[in-house]
Chain A
Amino acid sequence: GDSVTQMEGPVTLSEEAFLTINCTYTATGYPSLFWYVQYPGEGLQLLLKATKADDKGSNKGFEATYRKETTSFHLEKGSVQVSDSAVYFCALSRMDSNYQLIWGAGTKLIIKP
């Protein structure tokens, strides 16, 4: 079945460091790929998405490129801030599965000033 694998956390970085959170997936066909973020005490919210190969999703300085050849959707940011501290979830959905979201386990990001 479909699955999403994320790098384990927590990931601890200093402010202004470069961020990469790895995400790989297993799915048949052509899934849509998502990154959701969960800030402390808040609900999950969509950060960015990509719906086809080579698409780049971007938002709030974060980017992720849909790489079909490596089945990856790694999240990157050039310069992180303390306010980026949160848990980040990679997810996929497919039309054949009624767009049910399949989630990774989440990666906790801690940014130190």
Chain B
Amino acid sequence: EAGVVQSPRYKIIEKKQPVAFWCNPISGHNTLYWYRQNLGQGPELLIRYENEEAVDDSQLPKDRFSAERLKGVDSTLKIQPAELGDSAVYLCASTPGPNTEAFFGQGTRLTVV
């Protein structure tokens, strides 16, 4: 069974440029999460989807971040414009239901220069 797939693995962009990350969750997993992980810290939740609905986006910086999950499967996370402080690893995870194991992708390491 394929795991959570994220792309790209690495991205280097100049500040003020846009960037997008893509996530394909495990088939059948209705819940999808985007996290941001800064160096030496644990993941911080950005947004949680139940199917195609964003049910918790309270920690998403909406002035520059946006996300979508078309048809309740794949998801994209976008930053426009990127700032130096956005450099981090962006993780996608999916679960089959509440209080079940979260399966993580390998993450996208973003460097803003």
The A-B contact count (CB < 8 A) is: 50
Chain B residues with a Cβ closer than 8 Å to the other chain, count: 22
Across the interface, do A44 and B43 meet the contact criterion of CB distance under 8 Å? yes
B55 at the interface (CB under 8 A from A): yes
A41 to B105, CA, bound (A): 11
Q: Type the 1/0 row for B84-113, where 1 means its CB is closer than 8 Å to any CB of A.
A: 000000010100001101111111000000
User: A82 to nearest B CB, angstroms?
Assistant: 22
**B45: interface (CB < 8 Å):** yes
Which residues of the partner chain A approach B43 to less than 8 Å between Cβ atoms? 44, 89, 101, 103
Chain A residues, CB < 8 A from B4: 43
Where the two chains meet, the residues of B that have a C-beta atom closer than 8 Å to any C-beta of A are 3-4, 40-45, 48, 55-56, 91, 93, 98-99, 101-107
> Given A43-B91, A106-B40, 17 other A-B contacts at CB below 8 A?
A43-B3, A43-B104, A43-B107, A44-B43, A45-B103, A46-B102, A49-B101, A89-B42, A98-B56, A99-B99, A100-B45, A100-B48, A100-B56, A103-B44, A105-B40, A105-B41, A106-B41
Interface residue ranges, A against B (CB under 8 Å): 4, 32, 41-46, 49, 51, 89, 91, 93, 95, 98-101, 103-106
